[in-house]
Amino acid sequence: MAAAMIAPGSAIGILGGGQLGRMLALAAAQLGFDVHIFTDEPDSPASRVAARTFVGNYLDRAALADFARRVQVVTTEFENVPAETAQALIDAGARVAPSPRALAVAQDRFDEKSYFQSAGIATPPFKAIGSQEDLDAAIAEIGAPAILKTRRLGYDGRGQIRIDSADDARGAYAKLGAPGILEGFCAFEREVSIVAARGADGAIAFYDLNENEHAGGILSRTTLPAQVSASVTVGAQNAARRVLEAFDYVGVLTIEFFVMRDGTLIANEMAPRVHNSGHWTIEGALTSQFEQHIRAVAGWPLGPTTRIADIEMLNLIGEDADAWPQLAADPSARLHLYGKRDTRAGRKMGHVTKLIL
Amino acid sequence: MAAAMIAPGSAIGILGGGQLGRMLALAAAQLGFDVHIFTDEPDSPASRVAARTFVGNYLDRAALADFARRVQVVTTEFENVPAETAQALIDAGARVAPSPRALAVAQDRFDEKSYFQSAGIATPPFKAIGSQEDLDAAIAEIGAPAILKTRRLGYDGRGQIRIDSADDARGAYAKLGAPGILEGFCAFEREVSIVAARGADGAIAFYDLNENEHAGGILSRTTLPAQVSASVTVGAQNAARRVLEAFDYVGVLTIEFFVMRDGTLIANEMAPRVHNSGHWTIEGALTSQFEQHIRAVAGWPLGPTTRIADIEMLNLIGEDADAWPQLAADPSARLHLYGKRDTRAGRKMGHVTKLIL
């Protein structure tokens, strides 16, 4: 049975205080909701646009139970929510969306790729790595170049070692310092992602495919329309539909793919949340990915995903954001800054969306 | 000299906690600002999306001085800011925009219309009314139908008495209960408004003209494009430019006009702030009126006002907002709810914007 619609004026709980939580909070406010943030970070970007913030440890069951009692639903802005956190919220009677099972799978690169394979979604060749011996054996099997990644807690290019030769492999497991996964390198032609949503009623909506460029492992640029054939789009939609339905998923979910020269789609990873490559939807789609996620977790019908212009979205990483006076003066740039107190190299400080009307 | 650009991460102070403050706060957050709200209302719509709220009396000089010290600029969401409030802020060293002089003129319907006339902007015939005798004399001069309004603190049709005959006039001044203004009734063909902005650098930008329909004195519907000739648009722009420049105005300002059958523009009133008839700019223009106002008061360059679609904006007054489940399910409706705790007749609870692409 579909979850009941949560009425405007109710409180929506968000785990995490970063920019995704901030943009979710802004979208929730537009629909008349109060937002409560639970975060372990004082003075977070999201907390400054929320009705209430609970600063606490994600493993503090009592604090989580208190949070759960004050909100009508709990969602998250990040996938690395500890399993214990989700369980504590559920034990306290909270409605949680998306499901902890989807979060758990997305937290572990090996589980994630194993899941993709079981669902018939192509992935690069991969092997779980628990020792240097595992790594040596996996390289012998998969070949180089390959990428050794931590199974857990990697993001934006962190926790990754590229292996181009047996030399690179030497001592690499110790350097990684955690259980890993070796992934065969895909000589892709382009990278795309699909932002999809599933409502509490089971309805599914897709945004147009994003074409993505990364620099140093961090998304730098997203453009639409993606330069891909219709069959690539259909393939991405089918993969997203399979994942959304398998997890009885409620909310926005993103899958990143490599597109090979022959048009084959290879799933890279999934994010059980709103995604950087979907930021353009704030101005460029009738319903933003943030509003869409709030609609879904609140049990509301999904909104239309129609794209209203061609798009170029540019991330502002680290000192890129220092150019705010120039960006503010650029009539083609819709500027978003996340309110982060400190500029650090590799840190996502904001983004700019250009609508090509 | 133009005021310096206020850097993202700084705090912007807003007087007032209503829906306009809320939408200003959301726009400021998008640009990376913190927002501090000063309001006499606990648990206000704006406070729930602001980094910090100061609940206090608008005449409490110490509280205002404390507020002024914590923010880089103070602006307002309502025109009825007491003169003492603005003075206290300025005495405390605050940068205040728009200027208190523009607020003062807009607070008093007689001063406002006198100002329009001095600036060569046509108004209905009007007379200041301080007694029943004044009223009788004014009706003899202006004729009926006419509208008796309080000079101060009227909005959304409150503080108004329509006078169709000498009978209606009897005892009307006592009923009004405050110094008034009698305005000759304009048999207008349509009502329009212009939302305009002036930056700290003196640059001026206009949004397309809004065509407005009122019900019971409250705006009910705004559509674009307005069904008026180019000369009406130019006339409205010229009037707005004159007002903006005369007051060395910084921020968004709105003027409402009657359009007569022959195309003559008659100024009805001005609002030294963002305006209900400009709510469509959130989705329908490249820069929303809320972002535009924040840009102006922060000393940033104005953004482009390009309209991207034809528009129908519908206000949700009182129980209209109870239809939120239907509105949430309407793919043509972009829903905005203001987070007001109580639904009351005549209260603006939200609005819906429809983009006709």
- The DSSP-derived string for B25-56 is HHHHHHTT-EEEEEESSTT-TTGGGSSEEEE-
- Is pLDDT at A323 greater than 90 in this prediction? yes
Task: Say whether pLDDT at A2 is over 70.
Answer: no
Nearest CA in chain A to B302: A329
First to last CA, chain A: 41
Asked if B25's CB is within 8 angstroms of A48's CB, the reply is no
Q: What is the mean pLDDT of chain A?
A: 95
Chain A residue set in contact with B, beta carbons under 8 Å = 5, 7-9, 22, 25-26, 29-35, 47-51, 286-287, 295, 300-301, 303-304, 306, 308-309, 321, 324-325, 328-329, 331, 334-339, 341, 350, 355, 357
Cβ contact, residue pair A32, B337, below 8 Å: yes
Which H or E element spans position B105?
Answer: helix B100-107
> Which DSSP string corresponds to A3-38?
PPPPPTTSEEEEE--SHHHHHHHHHHHHTT-EEEEE
pLDDT of residue A1: 47
Does an H or E element contain A113, and which? Answer: helix A109-118
Report residue B12 CA to chain centroid gap. Answer: 19
Q: Give the DSSP letter string of A77-105.
A: S-S---HHHHHHHHHTT--BSS-HHHHHH
pLDDT number for residue B210: 98
H helices of A41-82, in order, are 61-70
What would the pLDDT profile of B274-324 be if each residue is shown by its tens digit?
A: 999 999 999 999 999 999 999 999 999 999 999 999 999 999 999 999 999
For domain B125-184, give the CATH number: 3.30.1490.20
CA distance A169 to chain B (A): 43
Task: With cut-offs at 50, 70 and 90, classify the pLDDT of residue B156.
Answer: low
Task: Please tell me which of the candidates B303, B309, B350 has its beta carbon nearest to residue A331.
Answer: B303
- The answer to whether the beta carbons of residues A89 and A96 sit under 8 Å apart is yes
Q: Considering CB atoms only, which of A7, A306, A308 is closest to B308? A: A308
Angle, CA of B276, B15 and B305, to the nearest 5°: 40
Q: What is the pLDDT of residues A106-143, one digit of tens each?
A: 999 999 999 999 999 999 999 999 999 999 999 999 99
Cβ separation of B337 and A309 shorter than 8 Å?
Answer: no
pLDDT at residue A167, as a whole number: 87
Give chain B's contact residues with A (Cβ, < 8 Å). Answer: 5, 7-9, 22, 25-26, 29-35, 47-51, 286-287, 295, 300-301, 303-304, 306, 308-309, 321, 324-325, 328-329, 331, 334-339, 341, 350, 355, 357
pLDDT of residue B357: 86
Q: How far is B6 from chain A (nearest CA, A)?
A: 10
On average, the pLDDT of chain B sits at: 95
- Residue pair B296/B280 in contact (Cβ under 8 Å)? The answer is no
Q: Which CATH class is domain A190-356?
A: alpha beta
A 10 A CB-CB count for A141 gives 12
Confidence band for B159, pLDDT divided at 50, 70 and 90: confident
- Distance separating alpha carbons of residues B224 and B220, to the nearest angstrom: 14
Of residues A217 and A350, more confidence is placed in A350
Query: Using one digit for the tens of pLDDT, what is the confidence trace for A148-181?
Result: 999 998 666 678 899 998 888 998 999 998 999 9
Neighbouring C-alpha atoms within 13 Å toward the C-beta of B4: 6
Q: Which of B295, B309, B337 lies closest to A8 in CB terms?
A: B337
Q: Where residue B155 falls among pLDDT bands split at 50, 70, 90?
A: low
pLDDT of B3: 72
CB B166 within 8 A of CB B205: no
Q: Closest residue of B to A355, CA-based?
A: B286
Token pair of A72 as six digits: 């009508």
Q: Which residues of B touch A71 (CB under 8 A)?
A: none
Q: Which of A8, A34, A339 sits opposite B48 (nearest CB)?
A: A34
Q: CA-to-CA distance for A253 and A356, rounded, in angstroms?
A: 26
> A49, B33: Cβ pair inside 8 Å?
no
C-alpha distance from B92 to closest chain A C-alpha (Å): 25
Give the model's pLDDT for residue B121: 97
What is the arithmetic mean of pLDDT over A92-115? Answer: 95
Candidates B32, B331, B357; nearest CB to A338: B32
Residue of A345, B203, A347 whose CA lies nearest to A337 = A347
Q: What angle do CA A299, A304, A307 make, to 5 degrees?
A: 140
Lowest mean pLDDT among A172-181, A346-355, B331-340: A172-181
> Chain A residue with minimal CA distance to B337?
A32
Going by the DSSP 8-state scheme, the letter that residue A278 receives in this structure is: G
Give the H/E segment covering residue B239.
helix B230-246
Q: Where are the domains of chain B?
A: 11-96, 125-184, 190-356
- The rounded distance, in Å, linking the Cα atoms of B255 and B106 is 10
**What pLDDT does B206 receive?**
98
Kindly provide the residue ranges of all beta strands, DSSP E only, lying in chain A, ordered along the sequence: 11-15, 34-39, 52-55, 73-76, 126-129, 146-150, 160-163, 180-184, 190-198, 204-206, 210-215, 218-224, 251-259, 265-271, 310-317, 334-337, 348-356
**What mean pLDDT is predicted for residues A42-63?**
97
Q: How many CB pairs under 8 A join A and B?
A: 111
Neighbours of B67 (CB within 10 A): 24
Distance from CA of B26 to the nearest CA of A (A): 6
Mutate which: A5, A335, A343, vs B, most B CBs within 10 A: A335
**What's residue B128's pLDDT?**
97
Q: What pLDDT is stored for residue B1 in this prediction?
A: 47
- B-chain CB neighbours of A331 within 8 Å are 286, 303-304
Checking if the pLDDT of B350 tops 60, the result is yes
Which pLDDT tens digit goes with each residue over A215-260? 988 999 999 999 999 999 999 999 999 999 999 999 999 999 999 9
| Chain B: residue whose CA lies nearest to A34 | B48
DSSP output for B173-195: HHHH-S-EEEEEPP--SEEEEEE
B119-128: average pLDDT: 97
Say which CATH topology domain B11-96 has.
Rossmann fold (3.40.50)
Query: Nearest CA of chain A to the CA of B232: how many Å?
Result: 27
**B339 vs A32, A325, A331: nearest CB:** A32
B328–A300 CB contact, under 8 Å: yes
Partners of B310 on chain A (C-beta within 8 Å) are none
Distance (Å) from the C-alpha of residue B302 to the closest C-alpha of chain A? 8
ipTM of the complex: 0.96
- Cβ–Cβ gap A328/B25 under 8 Å: no
B50 CB neighbours in chain A (<8 A) are 48-49
Taking the CA of residue A240 and the nearest CA in chain B, the distance in Å comes to 22
